[in-house]
A and B are shown apart, each in its own frame.
Chain A
Amino acid sequence: MNIDYSQELPVVEGRLSLREIDDLIARPMDEKPNKKYFLALSFTLSLMSIGAVSVALTLYYGIGMWGNNQPVGWAFDIVNFVFWVGIGHAGTLISAILFLLRQKWRTGIARFAEAMTIFAVMCAAIFPVLHTGRMWVAVVYLLPYPNQHGLWVNFTSPLIWDVFAVSTYFTVSLVFWYVGLIPDFATLRDRTASKIKKVIYSVFSLGWRHSHRNWQHYEKSYMLLAGFATPLVLSVHTIVSFDFAVSILPGWHTTIFPPYFVAGAIFSGFAMVVTVLIFVRKVFDLENIITINHLEKMNKVILATGMMVGYAYGMEFFIAWYSGNPVEQFAFINRAFGPYAWAYWIMVSCNVIFPQFFWVKKIRRSVPLMLIIAIFVNIGMWFERFVITVTSLHRDFLPSSWGYYTPTLVDFGVLIGSFGLFFTLVLLFTKTLPVVSISEVKAVADGAQPSHHGGDH
């Protein structure tokens, strides 16, 4: 109403000078960690040790320690895998797709989101690798390498596509992240007083000189990487959804899965980024760089993707009815009203109903409320994967083989451990690397680019 849309909001608030940006972003690395940091770290490390015990039990006694068995042969392992891979999607989306769309506001959050991508994919990898049983030999049969009978891996199976997709995604995200870090390492190298730090930063900066002859290729490479990362990020969750969609199980065998999974991944990823960023900007005084405008924009994305997910829920029911296939119809009625109805309704309320509050601008810009909603979304998206996996399996074609799946303590232990690993890595990251891209934020600060006449555009 009285907002002037012709004027772009400043991406960096408070008119920080370039030197102040440096100081602000580098401060967590310069200061010794305080008590609170160690408290947080000890908490996440205890979560991780719960996970370590559970993993040890799983390795020693075998995956019989988990609750999945006939008829629910896939449960927490794939649920958590899809959940974490989904979380990982926000990072590449922010750094690649928003880059191609020339969204300047991404600079404040891109680095952090990319780091979360990498950590989330690491957490995701735990589950399928553990599920292979003897994971130290898994390397041999996941990679395209003939076994002792000369038989190769099955390249027509979605599971091997998954291996390629997730490992490529991890590698490309890591490379993308590192390329973004090179100029920052150089800046850190030039401002640090400590000798050891200087050696480390020098090694990682590769001797970057901020030379424009390099910047030119660097910007080009960033474009190319973003151009590749965009279809890649869409392909990864598409392929993850193929794990389900290519099978013939009612409730899984649907063509809506790829777009539905991708929307859900972005949805959950943004929710996780919001959750973590709320704390990071508070703790490290980055409110001027990660502004409330950033959070609001992310909340809008959450609202949009949340409605896409809701649409997919509705469409699944419609297609089940429209197909006229009684088994398919049963699968969906059973999903909403069967023994796992509680999980289904948790999912629907967390993913479809709660995000609707984001229509209200006040809620979109209120930190405590958005934190609550983002956490609900995280819970809801975990349940989405649970519902898809477990409800479809527990009652399939043959009523005599129906069953009810209950996870074991070890199942929960590994899940808790993955959260521990994720947050431990996040904490270590905040203290060792610049959580915001220094050179990118400088480039979008007010007055950082030549005025149009001087710049000869």
Chain B
Amino acid sequence: MEQQKKVFGLAALFDSPDSIIKAAKTVTDKGYKNFDVHTPYPVHGMDKAMKLPPSKLGYVTLTFGLTGAAIALLFMYWTMSVDYPMIIGGKPFFAFPAFIPVTFEVTVLLATLSTVIGMITFFFYYPDNSHPIHDTNYMKSVSIDKFGVCIEATDSKYNEEEISKLFADLGAKSTEIIYFAEKVDRKIFEPKFITLLIVTASIVSGVAYIHLNKILYLPPFDWMMEQSRVNVQSMSSFFNDNFGMRTPVKGTVARGFLPYEFAGVNEPSSPLANPFFPSKENLVLGEKKYNTFCSPCHGNFGDGDSRLNGQFPLPPSLHTTKAREWQDGNLYHIIVNGQNVMPSYASQLNIEERWAIVNYIRVLQRAKNASDADIQEIKKESVKNVSR
């Protein structure tokens, strides 16, 4: 039986770290290539004793670390500046400082994962639980407190007797021949295995299906989609009047809609006082609103020369003594209230705009009836403007 087994190598056990270092050195110096040292923990100085070249693992880390940094930066550049550019917090599309954290994390992630996966697969060729050295007494000893060296049969200088002698000279506690395990044929497609595959597949797909199609839409988790509320235009049996819409309480005053106390009165004798100073802005506003709302009937300068070509009764001029002697409040009153055929402009103009129009009418009136002093003043102004 024994003779039929294929030999993997010859191994020897040593007791102390010093002796294993010596053994490793001697084996290396004797020119053996295919050998390995097994120790329960890394023994210092062994790299030198075995003349191992420095580990190249660092290159894997470097490559994948840099790749990670590049991928992260490019990806963020593409999403935030190309695919869906959007200004957030006033930052530029490519906000490099804000991209540093994610870049760093992805670098570290890729570097560590590649180091470990690369080491296990390409440097160790793991997982490898069928290596002949497993389950030998040799392995069980080096796993705990012994230090071993094993010269493999594939080495060109392999010679059992010579090596045994070498080990004995080095002071080995014991030597052991390690054999390859007999090959056991394991079929891949065993019924048990196939059943396992099918069961796993159906469980995974089933769970995924139920999660994506059922659990996500299970009550109460659809609360955000269906909210119980009343649409203003719809009927509601909750209120007595069956309207979904509620009207404001009686006497509610809406913002900017203070009731006008002289509504419906004809020419109030003590009307409202003008709260607006005829500032430049106010007059500009008044001009604009006058031209829009009043000029079609009253004419651009209040002369009563309507543009309506007789389709509407001509209004009187706004430069009559009556109109000029009216208080500001009376003009205002006519805008809010209307007068005879002239309709109310309360709904088109807010309070400020109405008073601005009143101020502008005053300007028109003064311009049409300018005194000598006014003309002097205008002349002075125009000289100033020319000399400027």
| A207 surroundings in chain B (CB, below 8 A) | 126-131, 134
Q: Which of A152, A219, A457 contacts B80 (CB 8 A)?
A: A152
Q: Which residue of B lies closest to A169 (CB)?
A: B105
Report the stretch among B138-146, B156-164, B191-199 that lies at the interface.
B138-146
Q: Which residue of A lies closest to B224 (CB)?
A: A134
Q: Which of A136, A151, A450, A454 contacts B216 (CB 8 A)?
A: A136
What's the Cα separation between A158 and B100 when bound, in Å?
A: 11
B55 interface residue (CB < 8 Å to A): yes
Interface residues of A in 212-237 (CB under 8 A from B): 212-221, 224-225, 228-229, 231-232, 235
- Find out whether the CB atom of B39 lies under 8 angstroms from the CB atom of A210: yes
Q: Which of A62, A165, A221, A451 contacts B101 (CB 8 A)?
A: A165
- Find out whether the CB atom of B55 lies under 8 angstroms from the CB atom of A217: yes
| B76 surroundings in chain A (CB, below 8 A) | 155
Interface residues of B in 308-338 (CB under 8 A from A): none
| B91 surroundings in chain A (CB, below 8 A) | 156
Interface residues of A in 123-162 (CB under 8 A from B): 134, 136-137, 144, 146, 150-152, 154-158, 160-161
Nearest CB on A from B89, distance (A): 7
Report the stretch among B17-25, B250-258, B295-303 that lies at the interface.
B17-25
- Find out whether the CB atom of B120 lies under 8 angstroms from the CB atom of A212: no
Interface residues of B in 108-122 (CB under 8 A from A): 108-109, 111-113, 115-116, 119-120
What's the Cα separation between A440 and B84 when bound, in Å?
A: 51
B189 interface residue (CB < 8 Å to A): no
What's the Cα separation between A278 and B331 when bound, in Å?
A: 92
| A183 surroundings in chain B (CB, below 8 A) | 41
| A202 surroundings in chain B (CB, below 8 A) | 129
Task: Contacts A449-B44, A456-B49 given; indicate if A156 touches B140 (C-beta within 8 A).
Answer: no
Q: Which of A155, A239, A449 contacts B17 (CB 8 A)?
A: A449
- Find out whether the CB atom of B134 lies under 8 angstroms from the CB atom of A209: yes
| A165 surroundings in chain B (CB, below 8 A) | 101, 105
| B57 surroundings in chain A (CB, below 8 A) | 217, 220-221, 224
Nearest CB on A from B119, distance (A): 5
- Find out whether the CB atom of A439 lies under 8 angstroms from the CB atom of B108: no
- Residue with the highest number of chain B CB atoms closer than 10 Å, among A22, A179, A439, A450: A450
What's the Cα separation between A456 and B21 when bound, in Å?
A: 9
- Find out whether the CB atom of B104 lies under 8 angstroms from the CB atom of A175: no
- Find out whether the CB atom of B144 lies under 8 angstroms from the CB atom of A224: no
- Find out whether the CB atom of B104 lies under 8 angstroms from the CB atom of A235: yes
| B102 surroundings in chain A (CB, below 8 A) | 155, 160-161, 164
What's the Cα separation between A137 and B216 when bound, in Å?
A: 8
B166 interface residue (CB < 8 Å to A): no
Report the stretch among A185-193, A279-287, A307-315, A424-432 that lies at the interface.
A185-193
- Find out whether the CB atom of B116 lies under 8 angstroms from the CB atom of A454: no
A443 interface residue (CB < 8 Å to B): yes
A324 interface residue (CB < 8 Å to B): no
B1 interface residue (CB < 8 Å to A): no
A442 interface residue (CB < 8 Å to B): yes
Q: Which residue of B lies closest to A61 (CB)?
A: B220
- Residue with the highest number of chain A CB atoms closer than 10 Å, among B99, B104, B128: B104
- Find out whether the CB atom of A156 lies under 8 angstroms from the CB atom of B99: yes
What's the Cα separation between A146 and B79 when bound, in Å?
A: 9
Across the A-B interface, how many residue pairs have beta carbons closer than 8 Å? 220
Nearest CB on A from B123, distance (A): 5
- Find out whether the CB atom of A212 lies under 8 angstroms from the CB atom of B44: no
What's the Cα separation between A212 and B52 when bound, in Å?
A: 10
What's the Cα separation between A239 and B101 when bound, in Å?
A: 8
Q: Which residue of A lies closest to B102 (CB)?
A: A164
A168 interface residue (CB < 8 Å to B): yes
- Find out whether the CB atom of B21 lies under 8 angstroms from the CB atom of A442: no
| A229 surroundings in chain B (CB, below 8 A) | 112
Nearest CB on A from B246, distance (A): 26
A325 interface residue (CB < 8 Å to B): no
Nearest CB on B from A169, distance (A): 8
- Find out whether the CB atom of A190 lies under 8 angstroms from the CB atom of B80: no
What's the Cα separation between A387 and B43 when bound, in Å?
A: 50
- Find out whether the CB atom of B38 lies under 8 angstroms from the CB atom of A209: yes
Nearest CB on B from A382, distance (A): 26
Task: Contacts A215-B39, A217-B123 given; indicate if A225 touches B46 (C-beta within 8 A).
Answer: no
Nearest CB on A from B157, distance (A): 19
| B142 surroundings in chain A (CB, below 8 A) | 210
What's the Cα separation between A440 and B41 when bound, in Å?
A: 7
What's the Cα separation between A415 and B101 when bound, in Å?
A: 29
| A146 surroundings in chain B (CB, below 8 A) | 79, 83-84
Task: Contacts A152-B80, A156-B89 given; indicate if A212 touches B46 (C-beta within 8 A).
Answer: yes
Nearest CB on A from B20, distance (A): 8
A319 interface residue (CB < 8 Å to B): no
Nearest CB on A from B107, distance (A): 9
What's the Cα separation between A220 and B39 when bound, in Å?
A: 17
| B39 surroundings in chain A (CB, below 8 A) | 210, 212, 215
- Find out whether the CB atom of B52 lies under 8 angstroms from the CB atom of A213: yes
What's the Cα separation between A137 and B46 when bound, in Å?
A: 53
Task: Contacts A171-B113, A228-B111, A456-B21 given; indicate if A209 touches B133 (C-beta within 8 A).
Answer: yes
B98 interface residue (CB < 8 Å to A): yes
- Find out whether the CB atom of B145 lies under 8 angstroms from the CB atom of A17: yes
Interface residues of B in 7-61 (CB under 8 A from A): 16-18, 21-22, 24-25, 36-50, 52, 55, 57-58, 61
A211 interface residue (CB < 8 Å to B): yes
What's the Cα separation between A74 and B294 when bound, in Å?
A: 58
A18 interface residue (CB < 8 Å to B): yes
- Find out whether the CB atom of B17 lies under 8 angstroms from the CB atom of A215: no
| B112 surroundings in chain A (CB, below 8 A) | 171-172, 175-176, 224-225, 228-229
Interface residues of A in 3-32 (CB under 8 A from B): 17-19, 22
A322 interface residue (CB < 8 Å to B): no
Nearest CB on A from B106, distance (A): 7
Task: Contacts A212-B39, A235-B101, A450-B44 given; indicate if A152 touches B58 (C-beta within 8 A).
Answer: no
Interface residues of B in 195-254 (CB under 8 A from A): 211, 215-216, 220-221, 223-224
- Partner-A contacts on B (CB < 8 A): 16-18, 21-22, 24-25, 36-50, 52, 55, 57-58, 61, 75-76, 79-80, 83-84, 86, 88-89, 91, 95, 98-99, 101-102, 104-106, 108-109, 111-113, 115-116, 119-120, 123-124, 126-131, 133-134, 139-140, 142-145, 211, 215-216, 220-221, 223-224
Cβ-closest 7 pairs across A and B: A18-B145, A190-B143, A454-B18, A156-B98, A443-B41, A207-B128, A455-B45
- Partner-B contacts on A (CB < 8 A): 17-19, 22, 60, 62, 134, 136-137, 144, 146, 150-152, 154-158, 160-161, 164-165, 168, 171-172, 175-176, 178-179, 183, 186-187, 189-191, 202-203, 205-221, 224-225, 228-229, 231-232, 235, 239, 242, 439-440, 442-443, 447-451, 454-457
Additional A-B contacts beyond A209-B134, A450-B17 (10; CB < 8 A):
A175-B112, A176-B112, A203-B129, A210-B143, A212-B42, A220-B58, A228-B108, A228-B112, A235-B101, A442-B40
